[in-house]
Amino acid sequence: MKLTLYIWRQKNSSTKGSFERFQMDDVSPDMSFLEMLDVLNEKLLVEGKEPVAFDHDCREGICGACSLVINGQAHGPMERTTACQLHMRKFNDGDTIYIEPWRAKAFPVVKDLIVDRSAFDRIIQAGGYISVPTGSAPEANNIPISKDDADLAMDAAACIGCGACVAACPNGSAMLFTAAKVSHLAILPQGAPERHRRVKAMIERMDSEGFGGCTNHGECQKACPKGISIKFISLMNREYIKANLASLARDKGEVTAQ
């Protein structure tokens, strides 16, 4: 296959970037999208030019490192597929492909196609955990959990933290990412003791990192390579309201349990 690529090149976060055009003459349909970029980079290396910087690691769709906007779509045209699992047989001979980094205020460009997603780590640090120090766990089967709940928690926990949801959202919102973690832990009984504190802390951190708000476009769900549903955003909103009602009640001196 012959392809024309327009790839975003940017030296660092403080310089302006622009598209650079590359012609690819011998692309095999069996290549993955990233292997196609490997071939380009090999060529650039041998010519002594700087290869295109892009994030990638496992190339199995699970580590969440790869982060390319391909022809305007986060992770490209194939549903529920990361860029690393996208194969060139999805494209046609003669196609022109635009490749850009995630674009969001909270994800500044580091270089070329690499962005800084550390804001996601900080959202988790704010409360995306169950406080159970090593050694203090009860026997595992002492906590029975219905299969439906376990499956639902797993649906939310499948998030790979790639940031496609933010890249796809017109507001640059991280609601789907945050909701996935809040929901995973709220659905399970182990997560109950900290549920109110957790949802408030994580949402507060999310807002302070510069992510936008949710206006129900639903683009995040469409772009998510793990198919995480926006119903978890509703669940998080309910959790948030409950948490705030509970603190209001406590402030008024009412005696309530969760």
Partner 1 sequence: MELNSKIPEGPIQEKWDRHRFEMKLVNPANKRKYTIIVIGTGLAGASAAASFAELGYNVKSFCFQDSPRRAHSIAAQGGINAAKNYQNDGDSIWRLFYDTVKGGDYRAREANVYRLAQISVNIIDQCVAQGVPFAREYGGVLSNRSFGGAQVSRTFYARGQTGQQLLLGCYSALSRQIEAGKVKMYPYTEMLDVVIVDGHAKGIVTRNLRTGKIESHAGDAVVLATGGYSNVFFLSTNAMGCNVTASWRAYKRGAGFANPCFTQIHPTCIPVSGDHQSKLTLMSESLRNDGRIWVPKKKGDTRAPTEIPEEERDYYLERRYPSFGNLVPRDVASRAAKERCDAGYGVGPGGLGVYLDFSDAIKRLGRQVIEDRYGNLFEMYERITGENPYETPMRIFPAPHYTMGGLWVDYNLMTTVPGLYAIGEANFSDHGANRLGASALMQGLADGYFVIPYTIGDYLAGVAPGSVDTSHSAFSDAEREVKQKIEKLLSINGKASIDSIHKQLGRLLWDKCGMSRNAEGLKEALSKIPEIRERFWREVSVPGSGEDLNQALEKAGRVADFLEFAEIMCHDALSREESCGAHFREEYQTEDGEALRNDNDYCYGAVWEFKGDNQQPVMHKEPFTFEYIPLKQRNYK
194, exposed or middle or buried, with CB in 10 Å at 0-12, 13-18, 19+? middle
172 binds partner 1 (CB under 8 A): no
Q: How far apart are CA 70 and CA 98, in angstroms?
A: 6
> Shortest approach of partner 1 to residue 13 CB, angstroms?
10
Tokens 């995306």: give the residue. 128
Q: What sign does the dihedral 1-5-86-90 (CA atoms) show?
A: negative
21 binds partner 1 (CB under 8 A): no
Site for partner 1 in 91-120 (CB under 8 A): 110-111, 114, 116-118, 120
Site for partner 1 in 22-61 (CB under 8 A): 28, 30-32, 34-36, 38-39, 42, 45-46, 48-51, 53, 55-61
Site string for partner 1, 190-229 (x = CB under 8 A): xx--------------------------------------
Q: How many positions of this chain bind partner 1 (CB under 8 A)?
A: 79
Strand partners, 18: 9
- Interface region with partner 1, contact rule CB under 8 A, candidates 68-76, 134-142, 170-178, 229-237: 134-142
Q: How far apart are CA 150 and CA 81, in angstroms?
A: 24
Q: How far apart are CA 123 and CA 207, in angstroms?
A: 9
Site for partner 1 in 74-93 (CB under 8 A): 78, 80-81, 85-87, 89
